[in-house]
A and B are shown apart, each in its own frame.
Chain A
Amino acid sequence: MKILKLDNSDLKTLLTRWNETRDLFSPVEGNGKVGWQRIEPLAFNEPAEGVPRASIKVFFFPQPETLLEYSTRSGDRDAYVPRPAMGKGRERIILGVRPCDARSVMLNSLPFANDPYFKVRKDTTLIVGFTCERPCSTCFCSWTGGSPMGTEGMDIAMTKIEGGYLAAVLSEKGKELLGHLHDTKEASPEERKQLEALRKQAQKGTGPAGSPAEILRKKALMDLYNATFWQKLADSCINCGACTFLCPTCYCFDIQDETVKGKGRRIRYWDSCMFPLFTQHASGHNPRGQKIQRVRNRFMHKLKYFPERFGPLSCVGCGRCIRECPVNIDIREVMRDLLSIQ
């Protein structure tokens, strides 16, 4: 992995150049509400500690995604004939992405590997990550297989040091982005060592011992499913979708046709396993008709079903659900409870 040393003016030059052919996005704070916005290159500020309120999934699972378009005007020759609506659009660079959010893109790629819409979004998006100097108290990326210094899912990973940044080049696209700086700004052996030391330091996590994903994969599914603590969670939960909609690795969707004035579109939009209609059958039967079943499913999916199918947990430890849950349901407690089941 090539490591470069960039100073602030290098970064400014790069941003200005990137902006010529691509759209730049970064977390922007305004009115107390932190979200992602398109920015002008010189407006970029290093992100404040922690993650923006909205997760990076807004770029990969647009709300909504138009899948098909069609006309419902009977006079039209192609009435009711659907046309794919997959616009490639301009390439975009997302700046200031934290390691947890970047890793979520990699995790979401596992179930969405063959999804053409996701693939287009992924192919046209470059991620310039910023590693975390100071994790928040709700951060627990190291429990889930990530790290505050993690680089998974990024094209370039920036780490702030005295007088600038160390930039790890992680993909061919990342290399292209850096242009001639790639060959002229290589970091010194001391600077490489400094980065190595920071990475080692970040490994010292505070979470449960061992790999939760591995331990939970080995536990018997029904033991976890029948645990008694689910009732307590359901007692507190109000079954809103705040956790799932803020979560970078909640990707469940529903599909609907919307027709307005003869123009139709088939959209894919966010759904939440917290909502009763999520599993409602056409017959009226609902296999997850009770709140407790829905609460359990959210955690079992992230912490058991997904790891069984794909390996890692479907959680990156960003802590958004913990911070914003109106009734303080804390996934770290759920993980501990599940891990303690013998």
Chain B
Amino acid sequence: METLFSQTTEAIRREAKDLLESGKVAAFLGFVKGSLPTVTRPFVARTPEETDKLVWNGLCVMNLANYLPGLLKSLEPPRRPGEPPPEGPLPRVGVIATGCWSRNMVIQIQENQMDRERLVILGVDSHGMIDRRKLEVLAGGREIQSLEETDERVIISGRDFKMETARQEVLRDNCLTCVHPSPVILDKKIGPTVPERRVHEPFARIEEIERMDAGSRWAWFQEEIATCIRCYACRNACPLCYCPTCFVDDSHPQWVGKSIDKTDTATFHILRAYHCAGRCTDCGACESACPMGIKMRLFTRKLQKDCLELFASEPGLDLNSPLPLTTYQPEDPDTFIIAGSKKQGTQGGSEK
């Protein structure tokens, strides 16, 4: 059956093939069908033939921006540390981008992780991606052996069941509250435009948590991360996490204990979230990647709300607006930073 997804798939294959055939890009980053019905596999096509395998559907949940800095680097000719890059343009990569992924690309460009010139972005408006955990709940623990998706419906079936539901019912939480489905930087638009969305109470769940007293909120947080196995899938799926050595891996100095310990696990999750403050685009890759079904996206969502309220800032919407936490103006309020700022002449300057 012809659907928006099948049309977009065809268009992506055509464009990607063109890009590789014409030599405009050295590689094209997209998705191929997975070996299981509820997942897709991020895939790097390096030959025009390989683009026939590309797909586009509601299961494309991994944020492709995550792969870009590494992939671009791997395509550069090898050189010694300190040696300047060769003359002339470096190999380029073609990539698919939805709203949130394109915003992550903006952030990576702003943070000097990659160069806009080296990207050819095929922009696709997102219709929202499917949460496979919601599908699992729908199937009631029975194994899902096939999945069919139309523009509005999702049909899953297994050994002795077949169920149909509205796509809306099984979309990821972040997609349900998304107001920026369209890519903000792109070289070519693929498929139809999705109108800017208005979401009623986009932070409803966060407000619910904010209303809890400190004790219940702490209990909620502990319960949420109780099953964490510290596999770092959330971190590794995140395009904001590109540090060569993460603070959790560092052993000299060691910032946090390495095994499963309540305090250490909590430290990891809190710090991971804070490192994403003012940068997270709510792409939901962390939650989609988690093998234990932890809803760690709520932690970054809270910080997103804070950034919006405190700085009126949504990161990655514009290459020319700086990220809220990496910019400083002399008139920024600082009374909360400087200890004893009421006294005259304290270290770090006084209030004027």
Contact = CB atoms under 8 A, between A and B. Distances in A.
Contacts, number: 121
A34 B226 CA distance: 12
Chain B interface residue count: which class?
35 or more
B136 to A, nearest CB: 7
B interface SS class: loop
Contacts of A332: 35
Given A235-B42, A277-B249, A328-B39, A291 B136 contact: no
Interface stretch (A68-76, A98-106, A150-158, A319-327): A319-327
Contacts of A245: 229-231, 291
Contacts of A258: 257
A240 B259 contact: no
B261 to A, nearest CB: 8
B141 to A, nearest CB: 6
Interface stretch (A206-214, A217-225, A266-274, A299-307): A266-274
A327 B260 contact: no
A267 to B, nearest CB: 6
Contacts of A333: 35
A48 B292 CA distance: 18
Contact of A246 (B67, B229, B232): B229
A327 B42 contact: yes
A238 interface: yes
Interface residues of A, number: 48
Nearest to A320: B291
A261 to B, nearest CB: 13
Interface stretch (A5-13, A38-46, A130-138, A163-171): A130-138
Contact of B36 (A50, A63, A64, A138): A138
B192 interface: no
A62 B62 CA distance: 31
A269 B258 contact: yes
Interface stretch (B233-241, B297-305, B324-332): B233-241
A241 interface: yes
Nearest to B234: A240
Interface in B54-106: 62, 66-67, 70-71
Given A32-B136, A235-B42, A326 B36 contact: no
A276 B44 CA distance: 22
A322 B231 contact: no
A30 to B, nearest CB: 10
21 contacts: A32-B133, A32-B136, A35-B227, A48-B141, A63-B229, A134-B159, A236-B44, A238-B62, A238-B233, A240-B232, A256-B254, A269-B259, A275-B249, A324-B291, A326-B233, A326-B288, A326-B290, A327-B42, A327-B62, A328-B40, A329-B41
Given A32-B136, A327-B62, 13 more contacts: A49-B143, A64-B261, A232-B43, A232-B44, A235-B67, A236-B44, A240-B232, A240-B289, A241-B233, A256-B258, A326-B289, A330-B35, A332-B35
